Structure 1
């Protein structure tokens, strides 16, 4: 199966409110031979306030964004068209599951395309950063990684490329894609067991099957900069359909006859009794053949671990108690959940899927001219899609909107970006504050180049503020 290695540069880290400004992707075969390439930039969306530091990191000036012909919507259409043309494939990135994938998914959602393109129609997705962490643990000599002042391993892409003699134009989308391919080559060669595990566990069904077929599964977790491994056995799923597993570090005989009340207390104590596996996040799962690389579990002994896993497997009552506890915790959280209205941009995971009528209107919308798109926009039954359609027209062809619709959207954006509250999105006051802090830092450093960069963005914010005041 072919690979699509891709990377994004964005105006910030919030996939709900920030935007893609650069994309690069390389289609390769399973031997990493290049078949095709794709790279584009786009302008800022109307009324979007970027984070100055993010633009410094990805070297994006006001001048660059002003001289780009593509709008954000046009870029999104090109991404969607290219990814469809290259499908079916395995979509690969570096920290892509938590970052790039979320940006692509939410961008498609807000521009009325299929959000789950990289998972549907035979497509799969994997994340090289998870493979890299696991590879370094199980096969320490497979590649070099950094070490920070706390003694923790550092897996930043630019650190890995420097230590492993890989040429890397860092924080440029195509540069990061090239670097990710080189890291992937190293992992496939020097840590083939982990590489294959990453490719195999790329969707919920494969992960679930692996857990059912193997009484003992070796999983990893990365929390607060530290990597840990655990030998576990499957118990049940929670309300989010995530597998819950018993950590075989513990003796199940100490727990299986406990009451639900006592189990609740134990489940909150450390080391954790139950480990959760996010089966949609490309977890690296290995079988018991790597136990000898896990000192704590190796000292317990394979025979004991097998016995513990078998006890859990046969303890239906214990599994039911765990499931009951998880259900009760979920119900409690739902009751105490904030009642603040979810905004359309935030509703991808809570607002339901579009029905066939809505899907049909989305296709019609993209195929129509802009005048007709306004009439199609008003045919959406779901208010979210109607709002997104009007917003796209506002951004691309504002004169098509009736005056009242234009003013309504303009006012919504103005209220958002001029707000003096600590909003979830970036605002002009927050951006000014960030500029002031960065200016102070660069003045101390005597960095005239970056000070000039900040001056340009200061003028940009002033102009934006005038447009929406």
Structure 2
């Protein structure tokens, strides 16, 4: 089977993938050298009778319910057309911030229409990938060859329209799905030319076994995520401190910039409070525990700690000697920490979902 990428993007009636349904989809298939294959696909979906679009979403995208009713198709047909592209053998579904947003839109779309929400991304040699965190990794470790716009002094903007403008990539219709797909492919081409080894390396992280080996070797690694402060490069040196009891594919990773003594000094209830209480509700003098779940089957962007150069370490406030000390402390108390975190996460409370349209992760049909 010949590998191909299916670059795609949704415009939606709001910002919550579970609730706010898609109004537009666009996709372009390319080969592994990022050359287009065939013609782009652009689809509109008719809004359901019980759907109330968010006015702000209409203003941002320029898509009104009237236009979607005129140009769109029933959601079931919309879903089948998208499935036929994403489920084609040897397809890597890829987008911009797609793992956090577009992939969730796809899953809920398929679920509502009684299609398997997962098979398209994991069978027949298929996979998924997301360019945004790859660009964050390049920015943090190998920034040459790309212009990085700032949203404020010292803080880079990763909005697609800002990166496009800074790198002279045409993107006149931001928030039009097809324009966003074309801009994403153009940024991917730029990165592939500027940092080909990094580009190919991050593609290898689509393989769950490669990710698992990297995380489970017992050594610190670098992890890229929007949840790490942008002023620190959205990157952190982490080590695995446990596995989520309800998801064997999720590793619990501790940010080694922080002292792990907090995991030993606090009891289970105190740790649970500092993990699951919203930041706005924590007292000003209470420090959030820096643990993040990393799913080995979600193409996370990781790198060996040895790829961190001296200049990057200084820029992102990473003291390599301190990391070694903190990692050693965790290693010495690994079983104690893992046992404590097991109890913490076993007691995690989830809001009950009763709307059948939203029950993808609480049973569902599959």
TM-score (norm 2): 0.82
> Does the Cα contact within 8 Å between 1:2 and 1:28 map onto a contact in 2?
yes
Give the SS at the match of 2:94.
strand
Identify the residue that residue 138 of structure 1 maps to in structure 2: 141
> Does the Cα contact within 8 Å between 1:136 and 1:142 map onto a contact in 2?
no
Identify the residue that residue 194 of structure 2 maps to in structure 1: 190
Show the 5 A alignment for 1:8-407: 8-36=10-38, 37-68=40-71, 70-84=73-87, 86-121=88-123, 122-149=125-152, 151-168=154-171, 169-202=173-206, 204-213=208-217, 215-223=219-227, 226=230, 227-239=233-245, 240-241=247-248, 242-249=250-257, 258=264, 261=267, 268=274, 270=287, 272=289, 274-292=291-309, 293-295=312-314, 299-301=319-321, 309=327, 312-313=330-331, 315=332, 318-334=333-349, 337-338=350-351, 340=352, 342-351=354-363, 354=366
1:96-139 Cα deviation digits (max 9, x unpaired): 11111101110000100110134221211111111112211112
**Structure 1 residues 48, 212: closer, same or farther in 2, change over 3 A?**
same
**Structure 1 residues 24, 264: closer, same or farther in 2, change over 3 A?**
same
> Does the Cα contact within 8 Å between 2:43 and 2:72 map onto a contact in 1?
no
Deviates more, 1:31-40 or 1:197-206: 197-206
Distance 2:58 2:290 in 1: 43
Q: Which runs of 5+ in 1 are unaligned?
A: 355-469
What is the CA distance between 1:219 and its match in structure 2? 1.4
> Does the Cα contact within 8 Å between 2:242 and 2:341 map onto a contact in 1?
no
Distance 2:191 2:218 in 1: 24
**Structure 1 residues 310, 353: closer, same or farther in 2, change over 3 A?**
farther
Identify the residue that residue 277 of structure 2 maps to in structure 1: none
Give the SS at the match of 1:160.
helix
**Structure 1 residues 12, 225: closer, same or farther in 2, change over 3 A?**
farther
What is the CA distance between 1:266 and its match in structure 2? 12
Q: Which runs of 5+ in 2 are unaligned?
A: 275-285
What is the CA distance between 1:221 and its match in structure 2? 3.0
Identify the residue that residue 5 of structure 2 maps to in structure 1: 3
Give the SS at the match of 2:119.
coil
> Does the Cα contact within 8 Å between 1:106 and 1:348 map onto a contact in 2?
yes
1:396-416 Cα deviation digits (max 9, x unpaired): xxxxxxxxxxxxxxxxxxxxx
1:324-363 Cα deviation digits (max 9, x unpaired): 22222224333xx54x552111211111563xxxxxxxxx
Distance 1:348 1:266 in 2: 26
> Does the Cα contact within 8 Å between 1:244 and 1:276 map onto a contact in 2?
yes
Distance 1:266 1:75 in 2: 42
**Structure 1 residues 271, 255: closer, same or farther in 2, change over 3 A?**
closer
**Structure 1 residues 260, 81: closer, same or farther in 2, change over 3 A?**
same
**Structure 1 residues 214, 199: closer, same or farther in 2, change over 3 A?**
farther
**Structure 1 residues 322, 182: closer, same or farther in 2, change over 3 A?**
same
1:41-100 Cα deviation digits (max 9, x unpaired): 23222221111221221121344223225222211111112323x322111100111111
**Structure 1 residues 271, 346: closer, same or farther in 2, change over 3 A?**
closer
Q: Report the aligned-residue RMSD.
A: 3.0
**Structure 1 residues 119, 214: closer, same or farther in 2, change over 3 A?**
farther
> Does the Cα contact within 8 Å between 1:43 and 1:69 map onto a contact in 2?
yes
Distance 1:326 1:142 in 2: 42
Higher helix share goes to which structure?
1
Give the SS at the match of 2:16.
coil
Equivalences, count: 343
1:252-286 Cα deviation digits (max 9, x unpaired): 7x689x56739966995758564432334432111
Distance 1:272 1:228 in 2: 17
**Structure 1 residues 108, 225: closer, same or farther in 2, change over 3 A?**
same
Higher strand share goes to which structure?
2
Deviates more, 1:22-31 or 1:324-333: 324-333
Give the SS at the match of 2:236.
strand
What is the CA distance between 1:150 and its match in structure 2? 6.5
Distance 1:210 1:320 in 2: 20
